[in-house]
Structure 1
Amino acid sequence: MKFDLHTHHERCGHADGMIEAYIQSAIQGGLQAIGISDHSPYFGSEEDQPFPNIAMAKSAFPGYIEEVLRLKEKYSGQIEVLLGVESDFFPDYADVYRNYYANIPFDYIIGSVHHVGGISIFNKKRFTKLNDEQKFEAKRDYYDLIRQSALSGMFDVMAHIDAMKAYYPPFSDIPAHQEIDATLRTIAECGVSVEINTSGKMKDVGGWYPSDDILERACHFGVNVTFGSDAHTPTRVGDDWELVRTRLKEIGFKQWVFYRSRRPVIVPL
C-alpha cells in the first residue's frame, strides 16, 4: 500500500496549488492514501495570521477542515483522503493548541519543531558565530523540544527530526548521540512514529530526514516509521517512496504505518 502523510497547499503561504491538485497527483502516482497536513495557524497570538508566509490564518482553519472532509467524501472509492495537520510545538502554548484540536476529526497530527531559542532551524546564519559548545547546546535543545513534543500526547507523528541540518549539513556531525537516543526512546515509549521526509533533497543537505544513522537507532529502539514527502507542490507527492521503502528494509524495518482516526494502520514493507 502506497501512502503519503505530509503535504501542504497554498493556505500556508509558501506552497503551490490547492488541496484537490495534491489528491489528483496522488491518484496519478498510484497512491492508495493521501494525507493533507498543512501548517496549522499560530494559536499563540491574538492576530489572525501573524506569519502569513509560514502558517495559515486562524480564520482559514475551519475552511481547511471542511474542504478536506468534503474531498474525503468526493474521492471515496478512488483514494483514501486523510485529514491531518502539521502543528508546531510551543511548550508555552501547548494547551492552547490542544484545545483548538480537541473536537476536530483528525486522522493524525504531525508534530514539528521549527524554532529553537526563538530562531528558525532553517536560518542559514544561526550557526555562523557559534563555538562548538554553543552548537552542541542548540542541538541538545532541539532534541529536548522533540522529546517534549512526543511526551505531550498531542501528536501521532514527529516530522523531520534532524531538519536542523537542512542548510547546515555539519549539524549531523555535532556529537549528541545521548540526546538523540533519549529522544528516540521517548518516541518509542509514547507510541509516536517518525516520518521519513524526502524534502531534505531540496535543501543544501541534499538528503532525506532523518539520516540513516538515526533510522538505524530508531529501528534498534523499536520506533514506528511513516512516510511524508512534505510536498509543497503537487508534483512532489509520493516523491522517492519506493527508494525509502527499499532503504527501510535494508536497515531492518519490517513495517511502517499510516493513520486513520488517530490510530496507526500497519503496512508491511
Structure 2
Amino acid sequence: MKFDLHTHHERCGHADGVIEDYIQSAIKAGFQVVGISDHSPYFSSDKDQPQPKIAMARSEFPNYIRQVLELKAKYEGKIEVLLGVESDFYPDLWQIYKAEYDKYPMDYIIGSVHQTRGISIFNRNRWKKLNTKEQIKEKEHYYELIAQSARCGLFQSLGHIDAMKGYYPAFSDIPAAAAIDKTLQVIAGEGVAIEINTSGKTKDVGGWYPSDEILERALHFGVSVTFGSDAHKPSRIGDDFELVSKRLKEIGFTSWVFFRQKKPVIVPL
C-alpha cells in the first residue's frame, strides 16, 4: 500500500496548486492513501493572517476542512483522502491549537518545530557567530522542543525531525547524540511516529529527513515511522516512496504507519 501524509497547497501561500491537484497526482502515481496537511493558521493572534506566505489565514481554516471532507467523499472508491494538518509547535501555545483542532474530525496532526528562540530553523545565518559549545546548545534545545512536542499529546506524527540541516548541512556534524537519543526515547514512549520526509532533496542538504543514523536509533528505541513527501507541488506527491521503503527495510524496519481518525494503521514494508 502506498500513502503520503504530508502535502500542501496554495492556501499556505508558498505552494502551488489546489488540493484536488494533489489528490489527482496521487491517483496517477498509484497511491491508495493521500493525506492533506497544509500549514495551520497561527491561532494565537487577533489578526486573520499574521503569517502571510507561511501559513493559511484563520478565516480559511473552516473552508480548508470543508473542502477536504468534500473531496474525501468525491474520491471515495478511487483513493482514501485523509484530513490532516501540519501544525507548528509552540511550547506555550499548543493548548490553543488543540482547542481549534478538536472542533474537526482530524485523521492526524503533524507536529513540526519550525522555529527556535523565534528564529526559523531554516535560517542559516543563525549559526554564523556561534562557537562549538553554543552550536551544541542550540541543537540540544531544538531536540528538547521536539521531545516536548511528543509529550504534549496533540500530534500523531512529528515532521522532519532534523530539518535544521536543510540550509545548513553542517548541522548534522554538531555532536548531540545523547540529546537525540533522549528525544527518540520520549517519542517512543508517547507512541508518536516520526516521518521520513523527502523534501530535503529540495534544500541545500539534499536527501531526506531524518538521517539514516537517526532512523537506526529510532528503530532501536521502537519508534514508529510514516511517510511524507512534504509536497509543495503536485508533481512531488509520493516522491521517492519506493526508495524510502527499500531503505527502511535495509535498516531493519518491517512496517510503517498512516493514521485514520487518529489511530495508526500498520502497513507492512
Category of TM-score, reference length = shorter chain: over 0.9
2:239 corresponds to: 239
1:29 corresponds to: 29
What is the CA distance between 1:121 and its match in structure 2? 0.3
Aligned pairs for 1:1-269 (under 5 A) are 1-269=1-269
2:230 aligned counterpart, secondary structure:
coil
What is the CA distance between 1:104 and its match in structure 2? 0.8
TM-score by length of 2: 0.99
RMSD, aligned α-carbons: 0.5
In 1, the alpha carbon distance for the partners of 2:147 and 2:124 equals: 24
Q: Which runs of 5+ in 2 are unaligned?
A: none
In 2, the alpha carbon distance for the partners of 1:211 and 1:223 equals: 14
Letter paired with 1:68:
V
What is the CA distance between 1:17 and its match in structure 2? 0.2
Letter paired with 1:138:
E
What is the CA distance between 1:145 and its match in structure 2? 0.5
What is the CA distance between 1:167 and its match in structure 2? 0.5
Task: Give the percent of matched residue pairs that are identical in Structure 1 and Structure 2.
Answer: 68
2:167 aligned counterpart, secondary structure:
coil
In 1, the alpha carbon distance for the partners of 2:149 and 2:73 equals: 32
What is the CA distance between 1:103 and its match in structure 2? 2.2
User: Which 4+ stretches in 1 moved above 3 angstroms?
Assistant: none
In 1, the alpha carbon distance for the partners of 2:172 and 2:122 equals: 14
In 2, the alpha carbon distance for the partners of 1:103 and 1:63 equals: 13
Query: Deviations for 1:14-55, whole angstroms, at most 9, x for unmatched residues?
Result: 000000000000000000000000000001111111111100
In 2, the alpha carbon distance for the partners of 1:124 and 1:92 equals: 25
Query: Deviations for 1:127-160, whole angstroms, at most 9, x for unmatched residues?
Result: 1111111111110110000000000000000000
In 2, the alpha carbon distance for the partners of 1:193 and 1:37 equals: 16
Letter paired with 2:58:
K
In 2, the alpha carbon distance for the partners of 1:152 and 1:20 equals: 32
TM-score by length of 1: 0.99
In 2, the alpha carbon distance for the partners of 1:45 and 1:137 equals: 30
In 2, the alpha carbon distance for the partners of 1:137 and 1:57 equals: 34
In 1, the alpha carbon distance for the partners of 2:104 and 2:138 equals: 34
2:126 aligned counterpart, secondary structure:
coil
Equivalences, count: 269
What is the CA distance between 1:92 and its match in structure 2? 1.3
Letter paired with 1:219:
L
In 1, the alpha carbon distance for the partners of 2:80 and 2:123 equals: 36
Letter paired with 1:183:
T
In 2, the alpha carbon distance for the partners of 1:234 and 1:124 equals: 27
Q: Which runs of 5+ in 1 are unaligned?
A: none
